[in-house]
Structure 1
Amino acid sequence: MTRLGLVHTVPALAATFHDLVTAAAPADVEPIHVVDPWLLRTAMTAGVTPEVVDRLAAHVAHLRGRGVAGVLVTCSTLGEATEQVLDRLGADTPVVRVDQGMADRAVELAGDGGRIAVLATVASTVGPTERLLHRSAERAGIAVTVESELLGRVRESGAADPHDEMVATAIARWDGGADVVVLAQASMAAAASRADVTTTPVLSSPELAARRLVDLTTLA
């Protein structure tokens, strides 16, 4: 049995990622979850402060102490904080940001000179996602254009259907207008299946992140 750690800022995502990680692993795994909504609330109001990075680092250190083979941080707003934590604690145990796999795949689909549309419902996610996409393109030796659209935050009311419908409508608006559409937050993933899209690939982070965690922990 291999243990894998996951840090969430949205409690509802724990079950989603639990299922994805166990499905992606060919061997028995035991996901261990840490849920801390304070991290996202603080990042949205005050930015990714040193206190946020310290608290995230403490969660990762706790999971490492429990013997996990790798840690996935499922909040895209904390993507750059995740990288800081990895730099601080060292790479002996992989620490994965949720959107890295999605960014690499988006750049691959867009190609040199391609256009990537980023949809987000939380403003604090936009900058980290854009910067990640450009870094992924640079590592691939190509250049891409990244355009972002910030949507309303219906999910906060607890009404999933209006949220998903809003995201699906935005996806459809970009159909044919970009080489690939990226959904910046894991909570947006369910909306992709509701969009009327015929030509433009749509990427969300959860499944790709789960696969990346499994790959980096040599379970695949």
Structure 2
Amino acid sequence: MATIGFLHTADVHVGTFRTLVRELAPGRDDVHVVDEALLTGARERGVDDDLRDRLRGRLRQVAAAGAGLIVCTCSTLSGHAERLSAEVGVPVLRVDRPMAEAAVAAGRRIGVVAAVASTLTPTVDLLASYAGPGTRIVEAPCLDAWPLFESGDLDGYARRIAEHARTLDVDVVVLAQASMAAAEVLLADLGKPVFSSPRAAVRRADRLLG
């Protein structure tokens, strides 16, 4: 079976996605590369030529490790990563694409929760590319949650994201960052669809690899 590769910007994602591969694609191997500086650079100066070169290099590193397809798990960078597929030599899937497809089919008023400002525009643009007439996309930043993630308080981070999501007057909630997946569980009683990206991305990657 072909190997799924992952490019992350936080170490915590390795365990999350490795567990999902074991659950959803048993028998399939996975390889992971982590580069926190990619997200740091994108937040500080945007995706300039130097950062794009670094991103390309990391994707090639994942490909060289045997990946038949690469999932970029950083929503800030995943669109840029996807566009580098031809240069990398293997398909690159942005982690939030399957989630976005499902979200626009679930309701017309979509709230986008993000803890990092650099994630909002890429996620909103992706949703808009799938949205039909009458769809409204509502930006719902929760920037005070990110210091909790950075400090390693993942439970507190998930609780803060869930708390914020409960305040939104929307039909659908999109948790824009892969790091927010735990908040989806906390929102099981919300009474409206809540989407996070990791599980859907692994399912899609497994299907694409056949």
Q: Which residue does the alignment assign to 2:24?
A: 24
CA apart distance, 1:202: 0.5
Q: Is 1:104 the counterpart of 2:96 in the alignment? A: no
CA apart distance, 1:197: 3.6
Q: Which residue does the alignment assign to 1:162?
A: 156
Other structure's SS at 2:66 match = coil
Kept in 1, the 8 Å contact 2:69–2:92? The answer is: yes
- Residues 182-201 of structure 1: matches in 2 within 5 Å? 182-195=174-187, 197-201=189-193
Unaligned runs of 5+ in 1: none
- Residues 37-116 of structure 1: matches in 2 within 5 Å? 37-89=36-88, 93-110=90-107, 114-116=108-110
Could you tell me which of 142, 146, 149 is aligned with 2:140? Answer: 149
Other structure's SS at 2:47 match = coil
CA distance in 2, matches of 1:63, 1:156: 25
Other structure's SS at 1:29 match = coil
CA apart distance, 1:143: 4.7
CA apart distance, 1:13: 0.6
CA distance in 2, matches of 1:207, 1:149: 22
Q: What is the CA deviation profile of residues 37-56 of structure 1, one whole-angstrom value per residue up to 9, with x for unaligned ones?
A: 11011011111122222112
What is the TM-score when the length of structure 1 is the normalising length? 0.87
Please say which of residues 30-39 and 15-24 is displaced more in the overlay. 15-24
Q: Which residue does the alignment assign to 2:173?
A: 181
CA apart distance, 1:172: 1.5
Q: Is 1:11 the counterpart of 2:11 in the alignment? A: yes
Other structure's SS at 1:132 match = helix
Root-mean-square deviation (CA), in Å? 1.7
CA distance in 2, matches of 1:33, 1:63: 7
What is the TM-score when the length of structure 2 is the normalising length? 0.91
CA distance in 1, matches of 2:104, 2:125: 12
| Matched letter for residue 186 of structure 1 | A
- What is the aligned residue count? 207
Q: Which residue does the alignment assign to 2:166?
A: 172
CA distance in 1, matches of 2:162, 2:190: 13
Q: What is the CA deviation profile of residues 159-199 of structure 1, one whole-angstrom value per residue up to 9, with x for unaligned ones?
A: 2232122111112112xx21210001011110122237442
Q: Which residue does the alignment assign to 1:128?
A: 122
Unaligned runs of 5+ in 2: none
Alpha-carbon spacing, 1:55–1:173, altered in 2? closer, same or farther (3 Å): same
| Matched letter for residue 50 of structure 1 | D
Query: What percent identity do the matched residue pairs reach?
Result: 39
Kept in 1, the 8 Å contact 2:8–2:33? The answer is: yes
| Matched letter for residue 186 of structure 2 | R
Alpha-carbon spacing, 1:66–1:197, altered in 2? closer, same or farther (3 Å): same
| Matched letter for residue 5 of structure 2 | G
Other structure's SS at 1:77 match = coil
